[in-house]
């Protein structure tokens, strides 16, 4: 198996009908003649969508290049999943009247940052705040979201 970036081998399937089970989906996307695909490393179902990881980058590219995918008379929407931007986080659950200095202290303490390491961009109603980092997050922090124990404030990677 060629060593390639996981994102290059990943495909997202949207608007999956409930009656299409994982086995049928796997069989379809592993069938080169029907889907253009190949062997799958994994299939993860999330409601009405699925994330497929192929063994080979070329199989994922062929699936994405195929004009139409039809399974059980339903046209499937197939796309490359959106990549995460590890230099942006979305902070939510903040009361609109929260003092900016309090938010800065929260960000600095939770993420071990200095004031020069980030910029805050509040939404118009201040219910969300985009945190733009001067350097991308470390892998461990980028893959997690956080829920404060004292409130319902959350930060998660921005897609």
Token pair of 12 as six digits: 């997202």
Percent of the chain whose pLDDT exceeds 70: 84
Whether 119 shows a pLDDT value over 70: the answer reads: yes
Does 62 share its domain with 89? no
Q: Answer for the pair 10, 23: CB distance below 8 angstroms, yes or no.
A: no
Q: 64, 49, 76: which is closest to 7 by C-alpha?
A: 64
Enclosing domain of residue 69: 6-79
Whichever domain contains 27, its CATH number is 3.30.70.330
Do both 59 and 10 map to the same domain?
yes
Residue 112 has pLDDT above 80, yes or no: yes
Q: Identify the band that residue 141 occupies on the pLDDT scale cut at 50, 70 and 90.
A: low
pTM of the model: 0.58
Displacement of CA 82 from its chain's centroid (Å)? 6
Q: Is residue 115 part of a domain?
A: yes
Q: Which of 17, 52, 79 is the endpoint of a domain?
A: 79
Q: What is the pLDDT of residues 34-79, one digit of tens each?
A: 999 999 999 999 999 999 999 999 999 999 999 999 998 889 999 9
Mean pLDDT of the chain: 84
Residue 89 has pLDDT above 80, yes or no: yes
Of 39, 57, 79, the position where a domain reaches its end is 79
């Amino acid at each position: 198996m060629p060593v390639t970036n996981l994102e290059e081998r990943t495909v997202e399937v949207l608007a999956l009908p409930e009656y299409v089970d994982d086995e049928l989906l796997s069989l379809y996307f592993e069938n080169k003649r029907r889907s253009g695909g190949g062997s799958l490393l994994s299939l993860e179902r999330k409601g009405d969508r699925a994330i497929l990881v192929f063994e080979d980058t070329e199989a994922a590219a062929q699936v994405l290049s195929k004009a139409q995918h039809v399974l059980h008379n339903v046209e499937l929407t197939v796309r490359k999943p959106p990549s995460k931007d590890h230099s942006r986080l979305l902070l939510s659950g903040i009361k609109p009247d929260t003092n900016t200095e309090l938010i800065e202290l929260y960000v600095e303490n939770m993420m071990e940052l200095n004031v020069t390491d980030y910029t805050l961009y509040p939404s118009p109603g201040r219910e969300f705040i985009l945190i733009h980092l001067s350097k991308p997050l470390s892998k461990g922090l980028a893959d997690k979201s956080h829920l404060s124990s004292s409130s319902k404030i959350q930060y998660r990677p921005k897609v």
